[in-house]
Amino acid sequence: MCDSFRTDLNYMNKKVQLQDLGFKDYKDTWDFQEVLFQEILDIKIKNRREELTLETPNHFLYVEHPHVYTLGKSGDLSNLLLSEKQLAEKGATFYKINRGGDITYHGPGQIVGYPILDLENFFTDIHKYLRLLEEAIILTLAEYGLSSERSQGETGVWLGVGTPFARKICAMGVRASRWVTMHGFALNVNADLGYFDNIIPCGIKGKAVTSMHVELGREVDEQEVKQKIVKHFADLFEAEMV
């Protein structure tokens, strides 16, 4: 959760700088996120210290990672079912990171989005932030005829909620400090779901994982999906993507 900070600032920069990083190593991307995250925090600290109202920037990063497993700060390492040697054999890496949530997988065919926002430019409500991220994915999937929804008590987007065939299609995990966010969501589009067999996804036993291409029975245009997500994100956050 966010710690209390200055919430009476009179600036509201709703421009979000969109950048597609392409196929990029997880650690390199994480380091880049940290740089952007810290830049925003530094401006907020300067504003508070010097009673200024300098605008803080907002970012939205798209990326596709090589095979990697990441474990949130409160996650259980036992949910990774591979040894270090087995990870290497599968060409995958592993990182324990500073987001919420448990373990997840990133890899080719998956759209990963990292909004790095100053929520004081939009609203100061982490619960609302997560629900709007979920809604952007739900609305996007609906455009492909896929009916998805939230599962109570489980962050992310699911299909078949309340049935024996419940399956997760989009994982989410964020970090927030002083109302600045990082990390984000991972939507399975054309992902190889076999890699999820090596973990207990998000620490939730007995729940399956799915992908758009499995549900639709065809390969899906990832660039098209990205465009749809951004459109819904912009509408929901009343943001201007630049």
**Annotated binding site for substrate: which residue ranges?**
99-106, 171-173, 184-186
d(CA 55, CA 53): 6
H helices present in the chain, as ranges: 26-50, 84-89, 126-142, 212-216, 222-237
Catalytic residue among 61, 133, 202, 225: 202
Torsion of CA 220, 141, 23, 132, to 10 degrees: 170
Q: What is the DSSP letter of 113?
A: E
Contact 98, 203 (CB under 8 A): no
CB-based burial, 117-133: b 16+ in 10 Å, e otherwise: bbbbbbeeebeebbebb
Give 63's contacts (C-beta < 8 A, 6+ positions apart): 20, 21, 22, 23, 24, 29, 112, 114
Angstrom CA distances, 177 to 5, 96, 100, 124, 211, stand at 9, 18, 12, 11, 31
Q: Which amino acid is at 111?
A: I
Catalytic residue flag (residue 2) = no
Residues carrying an active site annotation: 202
